[in-house]
Amino acid sequence: MALMRHIPGIFVTGTDTGVGKTVVACALARALKARDIDVGVMKPVETGCGEKLFPADAMALKEAAGVVDDISEICPFRYKAPLAPSSCADIEGRPVDVERIMATYRTLAGRHQFMIVEGAGGILAPITPQQAIADLVKKMNLPLLIVARTSLGTINHTLLTVSCAKQAGIEMMGIVMNPVDHSGWTQTEEWGLREIESRAGVPVLGVFPRLSSVKDERSSRFDWDKIIAMMCKI
């Protein structure tokens, strides 16, 4: 496959926390790697790392991409509690330094053909007293891939996320629906998907398979070729 030179990467956000951003980002990293694309990964801020500050999401991304980049570059800010980054920073006395994140991002982007950056929580999750994840997306100038759950309530969450991104002037590549709540597919989810497709003004790229872990090979059957082709056109 030809090298991807149209955009330097993509920013993966969610409509909420726990919607499967890391699983989708890891699967995308593996798909790019399988197509001989040198992909770098970054999780600028990770919370809920526990007393040992182990960044499970960032480590999963590192393994999926098969990179040798140091975890301190992939995830420069780690916090113990499962709270918003700005709250964790206040509690632990270690503020998020956006300029340091940007410098690290530029280093990684200069090292790889393509970057996958995963946010923390949703697009309005606060990272400093003045800035949210949306501000980080704008600084990186990356198109947004939105991961949304399929269950009841997702129409509101997804359309709010899309509306916020539009107001911020953030380019969106599309939406991936992820059935994180259960393994079935119901009429409720089907109607939710149709409503999002008709109202968002952003393409729904597909419904991700339910996985038992981030390494589940069923993700390889997702239509990554379609998504990667779209990324090349942005």
Query: Would you name the residues annotated as active-site residues?
Result: 43
Q: CA 186, 187, 190: angle at the middle one, nearest 5?
A: 95
Tell me the torsion sign for CA atoms 179, 210, 212, 31: negative
Whole-angstrom CA distances from 103 to 2, 15, 58 are 28, 27, 18
Q: Which amino acid is at 3?
A: L
Q: Which of 158, 131, 130, 127 is nearest to 145 (CA)?
A: 158
The CA distance from 31 to 41, in Å, is 13
Element (H, E) at 178: strand 172-178
Element (H, E) at 140: helix 133-140
The CA distance from 229 to 144, in Å, is 15
The CA distance from 177 to 150, in Å, is 6
